[in-house]
Chain A
Amino acid sequence: KQEVTQIPAALSVPEGENLVLNCSFTDSAIYNLQWFRQDPGKGLTSLLLIQSSQREQTSGRLNASLDKSSGRSTLYIAASQPGDSATYLCAPFMDSNYQLIWGAGTKLIIKP
């Protein structure tokens, strides 16, 4: 059974710092992996999707990497801003049953 762990559970940093959020998963038979952002009381917004054959994907100040064989993905946020404050969720999409498996998320606070 796929298990997804996100570390750290919470992170508070001053504005302007570069930071890394970690995601690990136990079953490498994934089709792709998505990173989402969730603001308090809101829905989920897709940030990046990495196919299993890709190593990384970039969108603006965000860069996500994937090492499928070791079961790891990282989300790098450059030059963090207070508007980046949210919970970040990673979810690998399984080859076996076409379902996303979710981590509990990293709650990020960027202090002005």
Chain B
Amino acid sequence: NAGVTQTPKFRILKIGQSMTLQCAQDMNHNYMYWYRQDPGMGLKLIYYSVGAGITDKGEVPNGYNVSRSTTEDFPLRLELAAPSQTSVYFCASSSTWGTSGTAYEQYFGPGTRLTVT
């Protein structure tokens, strides 16, 4: 299993450009999450999904959009990029079931480092 994969690893955007960060998981997890992590700070939840076709806002959703058409994929769309969106973006997934009490244990991708200039 590849686990959670994210592309690209790095990206530089100009102000006002748009892009999509890709996230995929092959663990058949129903929950998926997008976080951002600013330098020296904790993670903040942007959006999450509890299953295909169902998404909801987290703590910092402004400037982002998501969709979940399949169980495996959860892309994050940035429209009109701004310098405040310079951050490292992490995708994660979890399942609502698990052996030995591991339900809701989150697994993370390697992250996408985004710079907006």
- The yes or no answer to A18 lying at the interface (CB within 8 A) is no
**Min distance, Cβ A31 to any Cβ of chain B, angstroms:** 6
Q: Kindly count the residue-residue contacts between A and B in the assembled complex, taking CB atoms under 8 Å apart.
A: 53
Q: A31-B104, A32-B104, A34-B105 are in contact. Are A43 and B110 (CB under 8 A)?
A: yes
Bound state CA distance, A47 and B106, in angstroms?
11
Q: A103-B42, A105-B42 are in contact. Are A46 and B107 (CB under 8 A)?
A: yes
**Min distance, Cβ B110 to any Cβ of chain A, angstroms:** 4
- The yes or no answer to B43 lying at the interface (CB within 8 A) is yes
Contacts of A31 in B (CB 8 A): 104
* A100 close to B40 (CB less than 8 A): no
* B105 close to A46 (CB less than 8 A): yes
- The yes or no answer to A61 lying at the interface (CB within 8 A) is no
* A102 close to B43 (CB less than 8 A): yes
| Contact size range, A | 20 to 34
Say which residue of A42, A51, A100, A104 sits within 8 Å of B106 (CB atoms).
A100
* A43 close to B106 (CB less than 8 A): no
Contacts of B50 in A (CB 8 A): 98
Write the residues of chain B forming the contact surface with A, with a CB cutoff of 8 angstroms: 31, 33, 40-45, 48, 50, 58, 90, 92, 101-111, 113
Closest 9 CB pairs of A and B: A102-B42, A44-B108, A43-B110, A102-B43, A51-B101, A104-B42, A43-B108, A49-B105, A43-B111
Subset of 12 A-B contacts with CB under 8 Å: A32-B101, A32-B105, A34-B106, A43-B110, A46-B108, A49-B101, A49-B102, A93-B104, A99-B48, A102-B44, A103-B42, A104-B41
